[in-house]
Structure 1
């Protein structure tokens, strides 16, 4: 469950600007401020079911945005490439560094 929450928060950091103000607010209240569905419903003057539906819709939207745009995947790949470059630097493996840099450059296009 914690892994799913972390994943959704990562996606939210990347794609939150694509959400409506209300979707962002409900997501933040639930995942960042740790309010319950009932507390959010009371604060936003909507039903618990509406809060639940909004959270499900936001999660689905975030997953859809990642499926289409793949920013998080690309970010993870680039971090992994940088880690491999650092290891190759320690070994002074300049051929591997060059190969990894070419892959990194290609990813950035």
Structure 2
């Protein structure tokens, strides 16, 4: 469940400008503010089922946007590449420090 929530939050970050104001409000309250369906339904004076249906439809739309635009996928690839480069720099620095220590021991 946490993985789904994290994924939806990322998709929402990337594609929220493509949603209607009502969809944005429901998604913000449900996923970002952790409101329950009942709390959202009371806030907007609609049925709990209407909120549920809207959120599920919006989730589906976000997944469709991702299938077409791949913004989240590209983001994950960039993050992976950045981490790879950071690890490589860290490894190189450790090797450099080790080499310098060896040089100091020789002196």
CA RMSD of aligned residues (A): 1.4
Larger Rg: 2
TM-score normalised by the chain length of structure 2 = 0.78
- CA apart distance, 1:33: 1.6
Unaligned runs of 5+ in 2: 93-107
Match of 2:27 in 1: 27
Equivalent residues, number: 92
Higher relative contact order (CA 8 A, sep 6+): 2
| TM-score after normalising by structure 1 | 0.77
- Superimposed CA distance per residue, residues 7-55 of structure 1 (whole angstroms, 9 cap, x where no aligned partner): 1001101110000000000111111121111111111011111100001
Query: Could you say which residue in structure 2 is the equivalent of 1:12?
Result: 12
Give the match for residue 98 of structure 2: none
